[in-house]
Amino acid sequence: MKEMDHKITLRTKTTAADFKALTFFNLFRKKRLMPVFLIFGALLSLAAIIGRLGGFVPMSDWYFYVCIAFLGLLLLQYLIFEFSVKKFLASDKLVTENERTVAIDEEGIEVEGGKENSAGVYRWDMLYHAYETKKYYYLYINTAQAIILPKRDFGNGEIPTVEKLIRQKLGKRYYKR
C-alpha cells in the first residue's frame, strides 16, 4: 500500500448500542472457540431435553438436569449481561452520546472531543489488537479498552482504505470476525 496522502477524519458518536455491541463482542465473539462451544452445548442440551421429554432417548436423571442447568446458565448469563450493560450506561455519562473526532493516518489514530473534551494520540505500535466486524472496527489500547469506530460514520470508499491501513500496520494483531 502506498503512503496515505491525507488523514481520514470522521465524526463519531458512541451510542448505547455501540457500547453494548463491544461488550457482547468481548464476551462472546472475541475468541472464536467460545461461540462454537456455546452453540454446540446449547444444541446438544436442547436435543437431549427434547429427546427425553419425547421419550426418544433414555437418559439418567442427572444428565437431564445438567442439560437443563446448562441452558438455564446460558439464559442467566445473558440476563446478567443485559443488566450490567444497562447499569454501566446509566452510571457512566462519558462513554456514550458524546461526539468525537477521529483522524486516522500512517502515524496512528488521534481522538478528540467527547464530554470531557479530551484528546489522545495512539501510534500504531501502541495498539494491542484490532478487530473488524460487520459493523465496527475495535482498536484495543489494552486488553480492556477499545476505540470503537462504527463503519456507518465512514465516507464512501474510506472503509477499504482504513482496513488496508490497519492490516498493514498491525499485521498479525488484526483480526476479521
Asked, for residue 155, whether it belongs to a domain, the answer is: yes
Which of 42, 69, 91 delimits the end of a domain? 91
Domain count, the chain: 2
> What residues have CB less than 8 Å from 168, skipping those under 6 apart?
1
pLDDT tens figures, 56-111: 989 999 999 999 999 999 999 989 989 988 888 887 665 677 788 999 999 999 99
Grid cell in block for residue 142: 489494552
Residue 4 banded pLDDT, cuts 50, 70, 90: low
Residues 127 and 162 reside in one and the same domain? yes
Q: How many CB atoms lie within 10 A of CB 103?
A: 16
Residues 101 and 82 reside in one and the same domain? no
**Which residue has cell 482504513?**
162
Q: Which domain holds residue 145?
A: 8-14+97-176
| Whether pTM exceeds 0.85 | no
